[in-house]
Amino acid sequence: MADRVRITDVAPRDGLQNEPGVIATARKAELVRLLCATGVDEVEATSFVSPRWVPQLGDAGELVGLLVQSPLPEGGDGASASARRDLSEDPIQRPTLSALVPNEKGMQALIDANERAGWSVISKVSVFTAASETFSRKNTNASIGETIERFRPVVEIARRYGLGVRGYVSCVIACPFEGAIAPGAVADVTGRLVRLGVNEIDLGDTIGAGEPETVRGMLSAVQKAVGTEWIGGLDPSTAFRTTLHLHDTFGRAADCVQAALDFGVRSFDSSAGGLGGCPYASTPDGGRAPGNISTQLLVRTVREAGYACDVDDAAMERAAAFAMRLVADARRGSEEGA
Ligand code: HMG
Ligand code: MG
């Protein structure tokens, strides 16, 4: 079994999609570059979703354009020289850059952005559905079945352009509207994504409801549905096919990581500084959606459990400090503008 853990930092996407203020695209690009210099395996850079639904990420195409410009516009904020390099200079060293795509229209916008750049800056796309019908409708205006149908052309186009496809399932433990979700429902949707042809599945505990026992139960159900070649198997070549995406609402995410490591999961999402939250997962009383497990906590948990990852702690601290400053400035700006 692989003793290495794969880490995807989702701060530029999950971290910024729910912020009230406006964040300049150049500063988002700076964050992506700082994260690329930390040693994480992947950075989820943005979403090609409807700007009416998520205005915060309506600049996805522009962001891709900025990521291939060298040098970046001066943003200050202590970005390191290595983080400022053109991402295309060192395609082997740089981590994978990925983005969310809900439908063919978003996929076409992503392909256009890559073509303008002249290479596949975003080399992996993430489609997203849920194990809860209510959440699926609130998040994407579609039933689970309809989201899967929307993904068909996305997967076909991704294949044509040689891009990887991650399939997210939200609400794998509980839904903010329906409450507890049966592990069988998660297994069912995961199986549909696998049959659709995704390369990776990503199981999202959207509201951080998980506990080690419920996470284990959910992973077992998924394993039964898709097999050990997808999750919890012994083959290092398939060890990174399943990712766990935890939000840390109740401070239990690190215990859930430990339970998942014991189960055989070797790939996790996290966000620098613990930013994050889905705008359509806010509690019915209007409370803010919770943040992801912080990358710093994930790295500590993974190392304490005896596994390796390539994250440089000092570089991650710099990226996290920048991410927090970005969000603090945006919140201050939105309060002043209110
Ligand atoms: P819709 O309104 O039903 O879309 O939204 P539509 O197909 O009816 O089209 C309506 C208009 O939107 C049209 O424009 C389309 O062209 C346009 P008009 O003709 O009226 O001018 N449109 C688009 N524009 C830009 N990009 C697109 C796009 N698609 C349509 N891709 C849709 C359906 C799925 C688009 C919408 O609901 C949406 O964008 N939802 C995204 C919500 C979102 O991003 N949520 C957060 C991410 S998921 C998450 O955070 C969970 C996760 O972290 C895991 C976890 O924690 O569980 C991943
Ligand atoms: Mg999330």
Q: Is the CB of 141 under 6 A from ligand 1?
A: yes
pLDDT attached to residue 337: 64
The most confident of the ranges 71-75, 78-82, 141-145 is 141-145
pLDDT attached to residue 78: 37
- The residue nearest atom 1 of ligand 1, judged by CA position, is 141
pLDDT attached to residue 324: 92
* Model confidence pLDDT, tens digit, residues 277-310: 777 776 556 666 679 999 999 999 999 999 999 9
Residue 276 lies in a domain: yes
Model's pTM, two decimal places? 0.93
What is the pLDDT averaged over residues 124-137?
98
pLDDT attached to residue 222: 98
pLDDT attached to residue 73: 35
Residue 1 lies in a domain: no
Number of domains within the chain: 1
pLDDT attached to residue 279: 76
* pLDDT score of 134 more than 60: yes
What is the pLDDT averaged over residues 40-55?
97
pLDDT attached to residue 76: 35
Three-state SS for the chain is CCCECEEEECHHHHHCCCCCCCCCHHHHHHHHHHHHCCCCCEEEEEECCCCCCCHHHCCHHHHHHHHCCCCCCCCCCCCCCHHHCCHHHCCCCCCEEEEECCCHHHHHHHHHHHHHHCCCCCCEEEEEEECCHHHHHHHHCCCHHHHHHHHHHHHHHHHHCCCEEEEEEECCCEECCCEECCHHHHHHHHHHHHHHCCCEEEEEECCCCCCHHHHHHHHHHHHHHHCCCCCCCCCHHHCCCEEEEEECCCCCHHHHHHHHHHHCCCEEEEEHHHCCCCHHHCCCCCCCCCCECEHHHHHHHHHHCCCECCCCHHHHHHHHHHHHHHHHHHHHHHHHHC
Residue 186 lies in a domain: yes
For residue 297, the enclosing domain spans 6-337
Closest ligand to C-alpha of residue 291 is 2
What is the pLDDT averaged over residues 311-331?
94
Residue 101 lies in a domain: yes
Mutate to test the pocket of ligand 1, among 44, 49, 62, 134 (most ligand atoms within 8 A of CB): 49
Confidence of residue 156 (pLDDT cuts 50, 70, 90): very high
pLDDT attached to residue 72: 38
* pLDDT score of 79 more than 80: no
Kindly report which listed range (3-17, 56-70, 193-207, 241-255) carries the lowest average pLDDT score: 56-70
Q: Is the CB of 102 under 6 A from ligand 1?
A: yes
pLDDT attached to residue 91: 45
* pLDDT score of 137 more than 70: yes
CATH number of 332's domain:
3.20.20.70
Closest ligand to C-alpha of residue 17 is 1
Q: Is the CB of 137 under 6 A from ligand 1?
A: no
